């Protein structure tokens, strides 16, 4: 039974609305704007250097008008695997040839780091009001450290089993991430995509399975979507895609164009850009290789090999090899300030 029907006793913002952390698409500017508008702004930390993380946390601590969230990934980095790297480069060969790039000169690497003791050392002095995780939770001692700062801890569940696991391991609220959601699936107990279900199937099942507040994520793009999620028992919502075309986002011009075009009606889960399934607008690489290619190496190692291809085509004004992260419902994307998007979504709480 869900014994906490709203998020605000736990996270005292004006609205139980979290702007989803979106690594590579926004930083503190977006988070500050959402906090000022009464939502919970988020800082995605997965792709930040230690120095950048520290600087962004300083901005949030000194300028945020309300509770803010910092988000980390919890994956286990894979062992270097040269054979897997060369299979991946082989799969990409036609694209390298077209772009005139020598794959032997493309360095391997991931570019996304998990939460660790060293990261905790940076974060601790800032005692963030909220810390959220994707891909599970850090090791128990690290999680206990985060909780000792007084931070409210959230993590994404994509199945009822994951929600129960997160509850048993000490989260304060569960983010129910439906299949519609843009970006990476937070799945961590299974890699079986057949287990992944839509927000309106997942949310009520998690609400009845756990005793914690449940935050609905995936496909929510306007006040009606917020109302529908709250009617299904959500204690709050987390919205990502609808914020991607705000001036405060760092989304590229090509990505913005795609989000606001008919192309955004067709998204797929793909492993091509990182190695883990993530939802983005279908582009040429996804069409020609298939979105879930067997040679894509373990997360996050797929990224480096695609990076120069992405850069090559983007320089030509093309998105052939760009990750165009988007949820299934990009209808909320507008070139409007994050405060406006927040206010429009918040009407769903009236
Ligand atoms: C561009 C993009 C990047 C994302 N990056 C992250 C991330 O760094 N950490 C995280 O926990 N979730 C990330 N997500 C997933 C969101 O937390 C959330 O589940 C999703 O945006 C909700 O669905 P919606 O996009 O339909 O609103 C990302 C989503 C998008 C669209």
Please give the pLDDT value at position 3.
Answer: 40
Q: Quick one: pLDDT band at residue 5, thresholds 50, 70, 90?
A: low
* Gap between the Cα atoms of 165 and 108, Å rounded: 34
Both tokens of 308, joined, read 């120069």
User: From atom 15 of ligand 1, which residue's Cα is the shortest distance away?
Assistant: 183
Please give the pLDDT value at position 108.
Answer: 83
Q: 0.85 exceeded by the pTM?
A: yes
| Atom number of ligand 1 nearest to Cα 221 | 27
Cβ–ligand 1 contact at 21 (below 6 Å): yes
Please give the pLDDT value at position 179.
Answer: 98
State the number of CA atoms in the 13 A half-sphere of 278 facing the CB. 24
Please give the pLDDT value at position 27.
Answer: 98
Average pLDDT of the segment spanning 300-327: 97
% of residues, the chain, pLDDT over 70: 99
| Atom number of ligand 1 nearest to Cα 44 | 8
* Contact status, residue 273 vs residue 306, Cβ threshold 8 Å: yes
Q: What is the pLDDT of residues 176-215, one digit of tens each?
A: 999 999 999 999 999 999 999 999 999 999 999 999 999 9
Q: Tell me how far apart the 2 most distant CA atoms of the chain are, in Å.
A: 59
Average pLDDT of the segment spanning 158-175: 98
* Cα of 97 from ligand 1 centre, angstroms: 33
* Cα of 177 from ligand 1 centre, angstroms: 9
Query: Quick check: 263 pLDDT over 50?
Result: yes
Please give the pLDDT value at position 4.
Answer: 45
The DSSP output letter for 40 is B
Cβ–ligand 1 contact at 249 (below 6 Å): no
Query: Quick check: 107 pLDDT over 90?
Result: no
* Cα of 102 from ligand 1 centre, angstroms: 33
Cβ–ligand 1 contact at 129 (below 6 Å): no
Average pLDDT of the segment spanning 277-300: 97
| Atom number of ligand 1 nearest to Cα 239 | 27
* Cα of 183 from ligand 1 centre, angstroms: 5
Q: What is the pLDDT of residues 18-41, one digit of tens each?
A: 999 999 999 999 999 999 999 999
User: From atom 8 of ligand 1, which residue's Cα is the shortest distance away?
Assistant: 23
Strand partners, 131: 70, 153
| Atom number of ligand 1 nearest to Cα 241 | 25
Q: Quick one: pLDDT band at residue 2, thresholds 50, 70, 90?
A: very low
Cβ–ligand 1 contact at 264 (below 6 Å): no
Q: Assign 159 to helix, strand or coil.
A: coil
* Contact status, residue 172 vs residue 121, Cβ threshold 8 Å: no
Cβ–ligand 1 contact at 259 (below 6 Å): no
Cβ–ligand 1 contact at 158 (below 6 Å): no
Cβ–ligand 1 contact at 230 (below 6 Å): no
* Contact status, residue 18 vs residue 318, Cβ threshold 8 Å: no
Query: Is 295 exposed, middle or buried (CB count within 10 Å of its CB: 0-12, 13-18, 19+)?
Result: middle
Average pLDDT of the segment spanning 269-284: 98
Summary mean pLDDT of the chain: 96
Average pLDDT of the segment spanning 154-158: 98
Q: Quick one: pLDDT band at residue 111, thresholds 50, 70, 90?
A: confident
The set of residues, in sequence order, having a beta carbon less than 8 Å from that of 25 and lying 6+ positions away, is: 44, 244, 249, 250, 251, 255, 325
Query: Quick check: 229 pLDDT over 60?
Result: yes
Please give the pLDDT value at position 198.
Answer: 98
Q: Assign 183 to helix, strand or coil.
A: strand
CA-angle at 166, arms to 164 and 168, nearest 5°: 70
Average pLDDT of the segment spanning 127-144: 98
| Atom number of ligand 1 nearest to Cα 134 | 11
Strand partners, 270: 278
């Amino acid at each position: 039974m869900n014994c906490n029907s709203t998020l605000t006793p736990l996270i005292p913002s004006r609205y139980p609305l979290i702007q989803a952390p979106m690594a590579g698409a926004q930083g503190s500017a977006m988070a500050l704007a959402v906090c000022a508008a009464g939502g919970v702004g988020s800082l995605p930390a997965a792709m930040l250097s230690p120095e950048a993380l520290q600087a962004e946390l300083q901005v949030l601590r000194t300028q945020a008008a309300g509770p803010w969230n910092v988000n980390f990934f919890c994956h286990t980095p894979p062992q270097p695997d040269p054979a897997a790297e060369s299979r991946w480069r082989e799969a990409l060969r036609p694209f390298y040839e077209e772009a005139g790039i020598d794959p032997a000169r493309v360095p391997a690497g991931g570019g996304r780091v998990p939460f660790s003791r060293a990261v905790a050392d940076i974060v601790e002095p800032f005692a963030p009001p909220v810390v959220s995780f994707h891909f599970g939770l850090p090791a128990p001692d690290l999680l206990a450290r985060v909780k000792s700062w007084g931070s409210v801890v959230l993590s994404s569940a994509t199945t009822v089993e994951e929600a129960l696991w997160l509850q048993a391991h000490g989260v304060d609220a569960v983010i129910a991430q439906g299949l519609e959601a843009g970006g990476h699936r937070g799945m961590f107990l299974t890699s079986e995509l057949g287990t992944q279900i839509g927000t309106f199937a997942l949310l009520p099942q998690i609400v009845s399975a756990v005793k914690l507040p449940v935050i609905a994520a995936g496909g929510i793009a306007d006040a009606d979507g917020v109302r529908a999620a709250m009617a299904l028992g959500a204690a709050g919502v987390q919205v990502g895609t609808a914020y991607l075309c705000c001036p405060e986002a760092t989304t590229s011009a090509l990505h913005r164009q795609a989000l606001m075009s008919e192309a955004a009606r067709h998204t797929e889960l793909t492993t091509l850009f990182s190695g883990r399934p993530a939802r983005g607008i279908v582009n040429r690489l996804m069409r020609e290789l298939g979105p879930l290619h067997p040679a894509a190496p373990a997360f996050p190692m797929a990224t480096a090999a695609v990076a120069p291809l992405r850069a090559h085509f983007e320089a030509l004004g093309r998105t052939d090899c760009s990750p165009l992260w988007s949820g299934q419902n990009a209808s909320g994307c507008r070139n409007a300030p994050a405060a406006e998007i927040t206010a429009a979504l918040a009407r769903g709480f009236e």
